[in-house]
Structure 1
Amino acid sequence: MSNAQAQVIVGGVAKPGVSKGLISITVMLTTIMVILDMTIVNVTLPDMMGALGATSEQITWVLTSYIVIEAIMIPVTGFFVRMFGRKRLMLISIVGFLVTSALCGQADSLAEMVVFRLLQGFFGAPVVPMSQSIMVDTFPKKERGKAMALWGVGIMIAPVLGPTLGGFITEHLNWRWVFYMNLPVGIINVIMVWVLLEFEPAHKVTADWFGAFFMALGIGSFQLMLDRGNQENWFDSSFILLLSVISFLAIIAFILRSWGRENSIVNLALLKDRNLATSCFMMFTFGLGLFGTIALQPLMLENLFGYNAQTAGLVMAPRGIASAVGMFAISRFIHKVDLRLIILAGFLFASSGTYLFTTVSLNAAEIDFIIPSIVQGLGMGMIFVPLSTLAYETLPKAETSQAAGIYNLSRTLGSSVGISIVITVLNHADRMSQQGLSAHIVPENPEVSRWLALQGMSLSNLQPAVQKLADELNRQALMVAFMDTFWVVMMSFVVLMPLLLIIRRSKEGVQSNG
């Protein structure tokens, strides 16, 4: 990229006289709208099945199509920013997202829905990295912690609110309104972007489209493998095995072809920056803890404790609120305290909160889930802001759009890997727990007869007694499996702590209190 192009890209983001607060609101609304659509659809799938004539396996493509295209599009955001400028690209993205949201609401078949979701993900994907780069460039370095806190609210809260809001809309309106609700918010976003942001001149740019093909093939295959792996029983499936080979070869080909190439659609050379590379890896692994917990907790609350989707969402909501509190609380100290110490404290809070999840029992009340969520959420907020700040601290301002694409790709892939890992661990732990517990359920064990007596049953009436024992075995085994899986999530926070020694601060990183 030429110096002239760099100057244009890092020029005034906002129009003269526009406050940073208005820019923040604009960016937050847009980010929340797009991120929310990743999780809000989950609870509507059973209702969609009947309306679209799809099976339980087919309907999951409504989620898969959006996730795969988003993962492909996020890293190329920097290229399109150079081509169109941020304001034009933001307008194109929001308008395209709105139109495709309306089309999703009108879909009458599974094929239509999958196509419209692909288009919705295509237009929505650039919004998140672009919004982060706008925040980084709008705020001076000394206020960047505040900027990342504001931006992080959408990233952290939207996935938690999605299932709750989706369940409420589906129950009281119709699943189609999950998509229609984007329209009023998106129209407000379009107006705010048009009025508040400054146009940047468009530039003629060249791209290595052959390398871009390898990137799309590799990331798309990898994301599809992660999303379908559990359903296909992983490498027992020839389809998953083929996807893994394709993704590995295509990603290697992309790296070999694109590293150091001037017209590469993604500037991989930015990963030479130690802070960006380390932060990307940490954000990737952080996705296991963040999105793994978001995937695990509703399953536990609904399957073991009988909560409906709306109640489960309300029980989970304090985590998002605590994350926001944690982000804003530490944003004031970003340039007064070593960020690595803040992140370390965040890891301690997050791992402690996750540990508390491993101590609950089948007799747990709602408060037993809310307290760990708050502790964990505080820690996640304390991690997210300084980690996002450190990622860009040693990079030139002209590279924020490209770096934001790489950084947010690590978050997206990390969330998918994390969800796949926790679901796989949960299924495996459930099987192992059932095998271990079933060995003790034998007629010779006096505890079996004692437990049946408490239920008003006995082995003399064999069939109902066996069914009752089987149901209790499944409950106990699944509870043990959830505890084991939360241990894995906890360790994902613990193992990241030593990596803080690799990250460095810039000379302006820590200012005195004076």
Structure 2
Amino acid sequence: MITVSLMLATLMQTLDSTIANVALPHMQGTLSASQDEITWVLTSYIVAAAIATPLTGWLSDRLGVKRLLALAIGGFTVASALCGMSETLVQIIGSRLLQGIFGASLVPLSQSILLDINPREKQGQAMAVWGMGVMVGPILGPTLGGWLTDSYNWRWVFFINLPVGAFALFGVLTYLPGAKRVARNMLDFFGFATLSIAIGAFQALLDRGEQLDWFSSLEIQIEALVAATSFAFFVVHTMTAGKRSFFRAELLRDRNFVTGTCFIFVVGAVLYATRALLPPMLQSLMGYPVATTGLVTAPSGLGTMIAMLLAGRLLGKIETRLMLLMGFLISAYALFEMMGYTIVLSQADIVWPGVIQGFGLGLIFVPLSTVTFSSLSTELRADGTAIYSLMRNLGSSLGISVIQTMVTRNTQISHASLASYVTPYNEAITSQVDTSSRMAMASLDQLIGQQASMIAYDDAFKLMFIATLVVVPLLAVIKRPKQHAPDAEAVHVAMD
């Protein structure tokens, strides 16, 4: 019952990271917002969650794991209700900020608790179950959001959280044993403030960069300067503050944890970006409606679920680094298939590479989550899982921003290159198109635009394919975890 409650809380939080995306046009009309203003419904949630995530470890020590988790679930559920009842743009942005703040600790806390309540030999299976909520939620979000918006209205995108949150809260309060509070220094406000400002400014830079043409915008220049300056202050403060520092420096002494967080950043940057590329490609180039787009992209979640269940059982029987290698190679093969996409695609051409990539992603996520925390002491797990989740989210934000910018710019470059061949002296053109007809030339320009966009998407898939293979040698850095089980007291110390 603890696992079920944690999974519901995790799924609720991860679904909300993407479920509202397809409902934005409907919200825009109801709330009388501009295209630029309505994006803050997404940005406010992401920034608030990113800033609040590092607080998880400190709050869990001060309040206790059970109290903090119950507060997070209850707060997130109430904030979801407020989002659904919002009548103005200011109200929904404020409610989304609350959602992000309360939801920030749900994913790291659920991971930490599952690691604590399971002995080492069962932690692989626990991470498989937990990973399904983390990975499948963002994939199914647009599909569920599209169905709820079309069948009811956009408010049900948020109201759907109410029964889920109520059940999760009941399970946590009923079945999760209370934990002792851990004596800890007062909050290092300077360290927390500098890190929060750096994360918030960096996240805003990534979310707003594409709209504002990156560093040609004064806003982006200011955000970049603020992020860099604040992070520099945070690093210097952490190095000089010793045990009073907000960041637990002991985490950096664990090789597997440091390597694992670097890997999850790369996984987020490279592999999550695929999920952001496919929907706009299918809708803008193939003319797919929202519902159909969701149906052809959702099966990738099925591949992820199957791989995670399989990986949970194989962990301990197959060497961890070998399983990670298999996962990266399978994911690379799926991206290789996507590199060959053309304007003419069957639904099977979209579904199967997605399923294959989802399967590879599942093989990566379970052993990576397990090996990252295999040698981390129990008292550091809440801090460790918070940093792990933060790095995954920052990686995915960076990857999505870079890939979307690359698609936009490469579309323009490819269009200019293709259009250069459209001249009165090119017999291949003049024999097929009446160059004196405006309608014919407009149709040709539309066709060139479609082909240019397809080339840009293929280039993006190629970049992710190369990046996936480039990080494979880093597997050698991972230290093989010890196979013996820790004593029961060490495993359950956080819950006793």
Q: Smaller-chain TM-score range?
A: over 0.9
Contact 2:335 2:464 in 1 (8 A): yes
Deviation at 1:204, TM superposition (A): 5.5
Of 256, 281, 284 in structure 1, the residue corresponding to residue 236 of structure 2 is 256
Q: Give the Cα–Cα distance (whole angstroms) in 2 for the partners of residues 360 and 491 of structure 1.
A: 17
Q: Give the Cα–Cα distance (whole angstroms) in 1 for the partners of residues 18 and 73 of structure 2.
A: 18
Helix, strand or coil for the counterpart of 1:30?
helix
> Could you say which residue in structure 1 is the equivalent of 2:179?
200
Helix, strand or coil for the counterpart of 2:35?
coil
Amino acid at match of 2:212: E
> Could you say which residue in structure 2 is the equivalent of 1:14?
none
| 1:272 matched to 2:253 | yes
Q: Give the Cα–Cα distance (whole angstroms) in 2 for the partners of residues 89 and 451 of structure 1.
A: 68
Of 134, 137, 140 in structure 2, the residue corresponding to residue 161 of structure 1 is 140
> Could you say which residue in structure 2 is the equivalent of 1:78?
57
Deviation at 1:25, TM superposition (A): 1.4
Deviation at 1:450, TM superposition (A): 4.4
Of 212, 224, 229 in structure 2, the residue corresponding to residue 232 of structure 1 is 212
> Could you say which residue in structure 2 is the equivalent of 1:170?
149
> Could you say which residue in structure 1 is the equivalent of 2:315?
334
Deviations, residues 408-466 of structure 1 (Å, cap 9, x unaligned): 111010110011011011111111111111111222222223444xxxxx334x11011
Contact 2:337 2:353 in 1 (8 A): yes
Contact 2:109 2:385 in 1 (8 A): yes
Structure 2, unmatched stretches of 5+, are: 486-496
| 1:319 matched to 2:300 | yes
Amino acid at match of 1:137: D
Helix, strand or coil for the counterpart of 2:315?
coil
Q: Give the Cα–Cα distance (whole angstroms) in 1 for the partners of residues 252 and 430 of structure 2.
A: 63
| 1:379 matched to 2:360 | yes
> Could you say which residue in structure 2 is the equivalent of 1:223?
203
Q: Give the Cα–Cα distance (whole angstroms) in 2 for the partners of residues 108 and 275 of structure 1.
A: 48
> Could you say which residue in structure 1 is the equivalent of 2:399?
418
> Could you say which residue in structure 2 is the equivalent of 1:405?
386
> Could you say which residue in structure 2 is the equivalent of 1:455?
none
Q: Give the Cα–Cα distance (whole angstroms) in 2 for the partners of residues 111 and 153 of structure 1.
A: 34
Deviations, residues 241-273 of structure 1 (Å, cap 9, x unaligned): 111111111112112212462233331330221
- RMSD between superposed Cα atoms in Å: 1.3
> Could you say which residue in structure 2 is the equivalent of 1:101?
80
Of 390, 398, 418 in structure 1, the residue corresponding to residue 371 of structure 2 is 390
| 1:459 matched to 2:417 | no
Q: 1:218 and 1:204, CA in 2 relative to 1: closer, same or farther beyond 3 A?
A: same
Amino acid at match of 1:256: V
The equivalences for 1:338-377 within 5 A come to 338-377=319-358
Q: Given the two structures, how large is their TM-score scaled by the length of structure 1?
A: 0.92
Q: Give the Cα–Cα distance (whole angstroms) in 1 for the partners of residues 441 and 178 of structure 2.
A: 71
Deviation at 1:202, TM superposition (A): 3.5
> Could you say which residue in structure 2 is the equivalent of 1:12?
none
Amino acid at match of 2:253: K
Amino acid at match of 2:10: T
| 1:294 matched to 2:270 | no
> Could you say which residue in structure 2 is the equivalent of 1:47?
26
Contact 1:270 1:276 in 2 (8 A): yes
Amino acid at match of 1:494: L
> Could you say which residue in structure 2 is the equivalent of 1:11?
none
| 1:470 matched to 2:445 | yes
Deviation at 1:276, TM superposition (A): 0.8
Amino acid at match of 1:87: K
| 1:507 matched to 2:482 | yes
Contact 2:268 2:392 in 1 (8 A): yes
Q: Give the Cα–Cα distance (whole angstroms) in 2 for the partners of residues 506 and 339 of structure 1.
A: 8
Q: Give the Cα–Cα distance (whole angstroms) in 1 for the partners of residues 484 and 52 of structure 2.
A: 32
| 1:496 matched to 2:475 | no
Q: Give the Cα–Cα distance (whole angstroms) in 2 for the partners of residues 450 and 128 of structure 1.
A: 61
Amino acid at match of 1:459: T
Greater mean alpha carbon deviation, residues 442-451 or residues 26-35:
442-451
> Could you say which residue in structure 2 is the equivalent of 1:18?
none
Greater mean alpha carbon deviation, residues 268-277 or residues 50-59:
268-277
Deviation at 1:290, TM superposition (A): 2.7
Deviations, residues 302-359 of structure 1 (Å, cap 9, x unaligned): 0100111111111011111101111111211211221011001100000100110111
Q: Give the Cα–Cα distance (whole angstroms) in 2 for the partners of residues 112 and 487 of structure 1.
A: 42
Deviations, residues 107-164 of structure 1 (Å, cap 9, x unaligned): 1111111111101100011000000001111111111110110000011111111111
> Could you say which residue in structure 1 is the equivalent of 2:492?
none
Q: Give the Cα–Cα distance (whole angstroms) in 2 for the partners of residues 261 and 25 of structure 1.
A: 39
Q: Give the Cα–Cα distance (whole angstroms) in 1 for the partners of residues 364 and 172 of structure 2.
A: 29
Contact 2:191 2:247 in 1 (8 A): no
Q: Given the two structures, how large is their TM-score scaled by the length of structure 2?
A: 0.95
> Could you say which residue in structure 2 is the equivalent of 1:57?
36
Q: Give the Cα–Cα distance (whole angstroms) in 1 for the partners of residues 435 and 411 of structure 2.
A: 26
Contact 1:335 1:509 in 2 (8 A): no
| 1:135 matched to 2:110 | no
Greater mean alpha carbon deviation, residues 235-244 or residues 264-273:
264-273
Helix, strand or coil for the counterpart of 1:112?
helix
> Could you say which residue in structure 1 is the equivalent of 2:490?
none
Deviation at 1:396, TM superposition (A): 1.1
Helix, strand or coil for the counterpart of 1:314?
helix
Amino acid at match of 2:80: S
Q: 1:357 and 1:450, CA in 2 relative to 1: closer, same or farther beyond 3 A?
A: farther
> Could you say which residue in structure 2 is the equivalent of 1:144?
123
Deviations, residues 22-70 of structure 1 (Å, cap 9, x unaligned): 2221111110000100100001110111111110001000000000010
Q: 1:308 and 1:268, CA in 2 relative to 1: closer, same or farther beyond 3 A?
A: farther
Amino acid at match of 2:359: L
Of 57, 61, 67 in structure 1, the residue corresponding to residue 46 of structure 2 is 67
Q: Give the Cα–Cα distance (whole angstroms) in 2 for the partners of residues 129 and 332 of structure 1.
A: 23
> Could you say which residue in structure 2 is the equivalent of 1:486?
461
Q: 1:338 and 1:51, CA in 2 relative to 1: closer, same or farther beyond 3 A?
A: same
Amino acid at match of 2:235: I
